[in-house]
Each structure stands twice: as structure tokens, then as C-alpha cells.
Amino acid sequence: MSGNAIVAGKRVLLLVPPVTYRATDFVQAANRLALEVVIGSNGALPLGGNPVVHVDPGNLGASVARLLTTVGPVDAVVAVDADMLPLAAELAGALGLPHNPSGAVAAAADKTNQRRLWARAGLAQPGFHVIAADADESHVRAAARKLGFPCIAKPVSLSASRGVLRVDDEAGLAAAAAEIRAILAATGSKESEPILLEEYVPGWELSIDGLLSDGALAVTAVFDKPDTPHGPTFEETLLVTPSRLPGSVLAAATSLAERAAQALGLRHGPIHAELRIDERAGEARPVMLELAARSIGGLCSRSLRFLGGMSLEMMILLNALGLPVDTAPPPGAAGVLMLPVERDGVLQGVEGQMEAKAVAGITGLSITIASGQPVRALPWGDRYLGFIFAEGGDAAAVEAALHAARGRLRVVIV
């Protein structure tokens, strides 16, 4: 990249949680840009020899004060994963750097706030009802009947499809609510938090990743999700880019994602939006499902390549430094298949990896859970077994390669 000289020597503070897929990729991106890196963390080990300053995301004031007195001047603050977004907003504000307001970050992390703010802005989204923890059972049933069955029940604070359940009838409603409460208790979340009931919107699902600059969205990738499950749980599986949807539908979806981010108050940095295309009224209408103030999760960003050999993490860093980025992808298509945990137990191994890697078009395979580790399936689990990556001439070829590679793997869980 010829613009390396523009950013070389600038200092960036990476805020890294102790458990994340993303830290290594961000550090490598910073090194490729010749940035000086400082890391703030509440448990991450030193990465690439960079200094680590202890922070406590649960005590934003003290963490901001410590960083201001120990880190020195920085040109950008970047949260490597969602847990660090509130601290990044507070610190960037204290430093006078472009940032998202703390209230916007909080709204993006709370599905109830999302729904209410989007309703106020008149954005297309599923019908919904917020169920308080002490809600009367008859009230809950009435709300579900109004939305119609099937509907979706989900906690407002969890991510990665954790606790998200399809409810097909009134009998299943009570069971779903009880299971969500148990999941919240197991994660240390407040059992008293509301549960969100949503209209089930059938249709093609897609995700939009992009970078905000003063509220304007530059799209970095649109992923189709051809294997989206219909329930009872909603694990991510196959993502393929570019999208095969018509240009007019994509333009409408992108505009909706941009307005959804603005309605939450987000102005800067990466977003990851989930949408469905609702065709029940006879026309393709994009509908917002969720939006996060971060880039795509897991190792999925490794499926993306941009002109000049840029990675998504490099583009996020340039965006945080206030520099323009070229989001044009190279020719062809790419994709990633996330390997879900299909049942609870202890992972004994993933067999057939060499055969999977040998499939034409497969560019990488990473198993991210070690053998001997306990694993849990959705709606309780929060991890994937690994990621398969592919490239090809078009989306159909990539999808076929990923399916073929998955068919050669044998996951052993006992």
C-alpha cells in the first residue's frame, strides 16, 4: 500500500478483551501499516511484544484516567471486540478523537433500545413486544398471539445467536422464556432483564459490513446467507460475498442499514448489520434484524480481501485515523463457513481436515477449539468449532466448495 508513509509512526491504542478471535489480526494489520501499537486489556497476554496497560471495562472512569496518564498521546482508539466498545467511546471522547457517543454504543448493545429507536425513526423491522421479567403469563401469551406464531424470543443483551429461539405455539413460549432466563443466569447477566418477542420474518438473509465516517456508510462487504436455519436455533453457517441479490434490493438494504446506524446515534467506525428480505407482500422489502457497532465477528474477516492486499482490520485502523479507504473488492467471490457445535459434550477432534483442505477453491481451515474441551450447542453455546474459507470465480462456486469441504469433516463429540 502506497499510503503507508502517511500513517507510519502514528500511535494507535487497541482495546483487547481477554477472549477474542480478533486480536492477532488487528496487531498484524497495525504492523503492516507501520503503526505504533499500545494495548489496553483486562487479561490479554502481550501481543507481538507491544506494551499492555491494564484496564477494567467495568470501571470506565478509572480505566480512562489510567490510560490518559500512562499511554500518552494516541492518534486513534480501536475496540478489537464488542466488550471494549464502551471504554473506547469514553476514552476517544476524553482525547477529543472522533468517536461514537456512549449512549449510541449502549443502544447498539441492547436489542430493546434498537427496536424502540428504529420504530421511532420509522425503519422497516419485525413487529416486536418487550416482555418484562415480572410480566403476567396471560400478558405474554397475548403479546405472542398479536405478533403471530411462529415468533422469535431472545435476550436483549446477548450476541452470536445465543439464547435466540423460535417459538411455534403458546406451549413453546413458556419453555423458551424459562430457557432464556437460565441462559442469562449462566452467563452472569441480569435475570431480570427483559425478553424480546419478535415477529418471525421469513426470507433471504444477508449481512452488511461497513465503515461509518461522520454517519455516512461505506460498505466493505455484503454477505448472503444461503444456509440460514429456520429454527429452533439460529446459528450462523455459510457466508458468501458478493451478494447475488438484485442491485436495487442491495441499494435499499444498504440505505436501510445506514439509517439504522444513524438512528442509534452511531457516527464513526465499523458496523455489522443483519437483515432479511421480506417478500410476503409481493415485493422484496429489506427488514432490519440487528446491528452491532463492530465489524463481522469470529475469523470471518479473513475471507475478505481488498485491492492492494488490504485486510478489513487495516481498513478499520485507517478509518479510525480519519483517512479514506477504498472498499472496492478484487474480482471473484469469497466465503466462509462457520462450523457450529451440533451437540453438547467434549470435543474429541475434527477428522478429515486434510481432505477438506484439498477441495478445489478452499483457501484455509482453522479449528479454534482444542480437543478435550467441553462444547455446548446453541442456544447455550457461544463458540464455533472453526472456520473454512474459500475463493472462486463466482458465489455459486464458493458455496459449492464450502459445502464440499464441510462434507469431508467428521466432528467427534462425546
Pair 101, 175: CB distance under 8 Å:
no
- pLDDT (average), residues 162-168: 94
Who's near 191: CB < 8 A, 6+ residues apart?
133, 181, 184, 185
Domain ranges in the chain with CATH number 3.90.1170.50: 331-414
Taking a C-beta distance cutoff of 8 angstroms, is the pair 305, 311 a contact?
Answer: yes
- Strand spans (E) along 215-351: 216-224, 238-241, 269-278, 285-292, 333-339, 345-351
Give the DSSP letter string of 306-330: -GGG--HHHHHHHHHTT-----PPP
Q: How confident is the model at residue 5 (pLDDT cuts 50, 70, 90)?
A: low
Domain with CATH 3.30.1490.20 in the chain: 127-199
> 331-414 has which CATH code?
3.90.1170.50
- Grid cell for residue 149: 406464531
Is the domain spanning 9-106 CATH 3.40.50.20? The answer is yes
Confidence of residue 307 (pLDDT cuts 50, 70, 90): confident
Q: For the chain, where do the domains classified as CATH 3.40.50.20 start and end?
A: 9-106
Give the whole-angstrom CA distance, residue 109 versus residue 156: 8
Cell numbers describing residue 200:
418471525
Q: Is 127-199 in CATH node 3.30.1490.20? A: yes
pLDDT recorded at residue 4: 60
Judged by DSSP in three states, 162 sits in coil
C-alpha cell at 67: 490510560
Cα–Cα distance measured from residue 38 to residue 79, given in angstroms and rounded to the nearest whole number: 12
- Residue 203: what residue type? G
Best-predicted range by mean pLDDT among 1-15, 63-77, 136-150, 249-263? 249-263
Q: Return the C-alpha cell found at 317.
A: 485502523
* pTM of structure: 0.94
Quickly tell me which residue has 473454512 as its cell: 388
Strands 11-16 and 76-79 come out as parallel
Distance CA 213, CA 152 (A): 33
